Copies of this chain bind each other. A is one copy, B any other.
């Protein structure tokens, strides 16, 4: 023990000195798994002892700079409050951990500004791979990112939005179509409302198309007042439902573009003493945990975030390890209607 406390991290150099070998020998010992070179057992022993004694830990920042490899991936999610993304993040983290990667989580709150900021951050502080759920980023912006950095990117998005990138997606257009069709054919509804989100958010137009498709096919006309717009939040779902129920002839069923808004919609109906599902049926989208907590339990189109996270992580690591080939990878994760009590 020296008279001074250890003030700072020991470096490889310190270890080398203490072990009486060169710094590169220390490096070799510490990465003997990857290095093909043989080192004498005594040297290994000495080095390991010195490492132990100094409580040495490699500095990954230095290793990154040198090796152009960070052992770190980043994931950009659209809303940290949306349980969908929690499952995705958990799965991704588990897979990353198996391969000894750290995961940097970033949250954009659906804001364009934050999405761009994320790209900037990645350009300036590169990682080995990026997973993202882009809402506003243009194809051009994303191409800039990938061309500038050459970092593999996998997106959770509709396949046509980013034609160059590996993509995982849930087929929400078809799922919406089928859910609404079921509302019409099986449940006998003719007056169906729609609570969507701004067309600037990707799922907005897609789910809207699925909705229109089912109604057109059934030769049902929907009055414009039946289309309400929210912003993914519970509060906006409440507002939209209140608007719908205050109509002279309110819908008997409402398709809501995500569960959070559907929860708000049911809440608003209850407040107005409109019974769900007797007077108005509600279908959500996502299948978050809250769907089984509220009463009536929410009928919803389930997405499978664990599968999504798994496919995204797999696709990304395949790219990182260069086993993907030139072809773009696209994975569809199917959605399924889960009937509960709100319909």
On A, residues with C-beta under 8 Å from B are: 5-9, 55, 57-62, 64-65, 70, 72, 80-81, 83, 86, 89-90, 93, 97, 102-107, 109, 117, 120-121, 123-126, 147-150, 234, 263-264, 267, 270, 289-290, 293-295
Contact = CB atoms under 8 A, between A and B. Distances in A.
B83 A126 contact: no
Contact of A234 (B6, B90, B107, B293): B293
Contacts of A5: 147
B60 A293 contact: no
Contacts of A121: 102
Contact of A267 (B6, B106, B293): B293
Given A293-B267, A293-B290, A125 B7 contact: no
Counting chain B CB atoms within 10 Å of each CB, which of A58, A90, A293 scores highest? A293
19 contacts: A5-B147, A6-B148, A7-B150, A9-B123, A9-B148, A9-B149, A57-B123, A57-B148, A59-B126, A61-B70, A72-B125, A80-B89, A80-B90, A81-B83, A105-B107, A234-B293, A267-B293, A270-B295, A294-B294
B105 A105 contact: yes
Q: Which 3 A-B pairs have the closest CB atoms?
A: A60-B125, A105-B105, A60-B124
